[in-house]
Chains A and B, each alone.
Chain A
Amino acid sequence: MKHQRIIVTDPTLRDGSHACSHQISVEQIRRYATAAEAAGVDYLEVGHGNGLGASSLQVGLSLVPEREMLATARACLKQTGLSVHVMPGFATAKREIANAIEVGVDLFRVGSHCTEADLTQRHISYVRNAGKEAWGVLMMTHMASKEVLLEESKKMQSYGAQGIMLMDSAGAAVPDDVKQKIGLLAEKLEVPVGFHAHNNLGLSVANSLAALEVGARILDGTARGFGAGAGNAPLELIVAAMQRLGYSCRADLYKVLDAGELAEELFAENLPVSNSITIVSGLAGVFSGFAKPVQRAAKQMGVDPRDVFVELGKRKVVGGQEDLILEVASELAARQKPVADGKPR
């Protein structure tokens, strides 16, 4: 093999939470986690779509309490590490992180909007002091230049992050963006750099490979792309493509393909598809996790969900600001009223 081994992280049971409005069941966790362990992914990420402590009216209540989700997965994993996503502002160190440490989480991926890395200082330190692994995650990375991303990831590195992930949370990136941003980080950071794709523009696999090409050492992929919006880079496709290109990883291709088959069965009703809404969402650069709540609100208020995405994009909303969906949808509805009344605008 010509390349260094790539770490494969699988957030199917975390990002996929968005795709089914956070209704992942204990049974689904148990069966998928068992398959992920067999497939040999390095880490399996589990929890609410927005991470620890995010089960809320704002972004959706989880079907299963956090502790139970994590404990269920924990019981199925041996070689594969258990990972969680952490967003300061939702999760606090002493409550959610301490709780997750107790359950036996191995890796904490502490994230913030791509320009707000300093919010993660306390949480990363807390995890490191507890003797656990912490990575820094920058989200919505299409909204910042590569220089800003470097500066922010250096902050996380200085807090003790042992890896840095760039998330294309809106699925708005094209391979050239990824090469520039990941390339600069891979060149300048001491810790391994990784990439997390979304498929809104159908580029999740291409973007993931572009990241590897310029030195990424970590890749996120989900079974059948089970994730927010148009989904993530499908795990089975990136593992296959990596094999084709000569990148090594711990995962076993056939077992990964099996996990994909299982996901198709387990999550049949909610597997992500590319449609006009996810495409507009990607173009507008809006957090992929907004897809379901936007559709719900648009339906209730009688407005075009695409218009809602365009307006949200104009307002530069960030992950966690789901309440603005209601505001935008009701505003659009109010604007439409005169038409409904038959009066000219």
Chain B
Amino acid sequence: MSENQIYTLTVNGSQREVKDSWIGESLLYVLRERLGLPGAKGACEQGECGSCTVMMDGAAVCSCLVLAASAVDADIKTVEGLAPDGSLTDVQQSFINNGAVQCGFCTPGLIVAIHNLLDSQPNPSELEVREAISGNICRCTGYGRIFAAVQDVIEQRGATR
């Protein structure tokens, strides 16, 4: 695959053509600038902050560290694909209820990381929650309300199981 070649990514269940791009672009850049999916945020561009977190083949990864052209066979899910258009996931609603969003820049990455955790471990310990979001940096909240939001989701999901 060379410069400006068109390739196709599978994002949120749809086949999306990537055109007029430089072949060395990160998945984060392609999602935001080529495919109109600005949910994942770009901050550090080196995998330190987690604001660009997306799901790729079932694992939460930093999309800034994925060469988009190498991800043609991968199943990619962004924060936009977690719930049907216009609706919120239980994690997103819990963030609102708990005031876990301040500037909001880290929020999409945190939402993806928390869904990833709760999908594989429905009843995590506090330590496991802390570990799961240790790669997502929030400079506003001090994390207290984020932990409260996660705890609420754990309890709600437990009650409906």
| A and B pair up | no
